[in-house]
Structures are given as C-alpha cells and as structure tokens.
Amino acid sequence: MEQNRRTIFEEKMRRNKGPVTLFDIPFIVFGGKFDFDDGTSLELPNAFERAFIADHLRAAREKCGYCPATRQALLHK
C-alpha cells in the first residue's frame, strides 16, 4: 500500500494536482487504473491481494512472527 500511495503522491506532485486524499484510498489498497484529467493513467498493483500471497505470509512469519487470524493457524504446532 505504501508503494501505491508513494506513486500516487509523486505523480500528483509532479502534475501540481494536490495531495493524496481519502478518494485515493481504494487505489492505494486495491490498485487499478488511476486516471488523470489529461487522459493519462497509472496502473497500480492490488496491494490487498498481494498481502495474502503464500510466500509473502511465510516471509512475514519468519521475519516477525506474523500469523493471519484464521482457524488454520490454531491447528499449527
């Protein structure tokens, strides 16, 4: 999400279009095609979807002990 927020912020600042707002949150979280007034657009990745990729979860668990709140975690030794 931070990468998407930073990309939107930098592009808006470059175009003098103001700060990142609450209306940008769906693009920050779920990505997609972020359109500008001049007809150009940015393609942002879906941060929500990427957060639940098995390799990402495994790396987070190894790094800091993070475990998603699911019933499956209760069965793990």
Q: Given this model, what pLDDT does residue 72 score? A: 72
Of 59, 55, 13, 15, the residue nearest 5 (C-alpha): 13
Domain span including residue 13: 2-75
User: Mapped to the 3 state alphabet, what secondary structure does the chain carry?
Assistant: CHHHHHHHHHHHHHCCCCCCCHHHHHHHHHCEEEECCCCCEEEECCHHHHHCCHHHHHHHHHHHCCCCCCHHHHHCC
Q: Given this model, what pLDDT does residue 51 score? A: 84
Q: Given this model, what pLDDT does residue 68 score? A: 66
pTM of the model: 0.71
Mean pLDDT for each 10-residue chunk of the chain (77 residues)?
Answer: 95 92 95 92 93 84 75 72
pLDDT > 90 fraction of the chain, expressed in percent and rounded: 53
Rounded to whole angstroms, the Cα distance separating 63 from 55 reads: 12
Q: Given this model, what pLDDT does residue 10 score? A: 95
Per the structure, how many domains does the chain have? 1
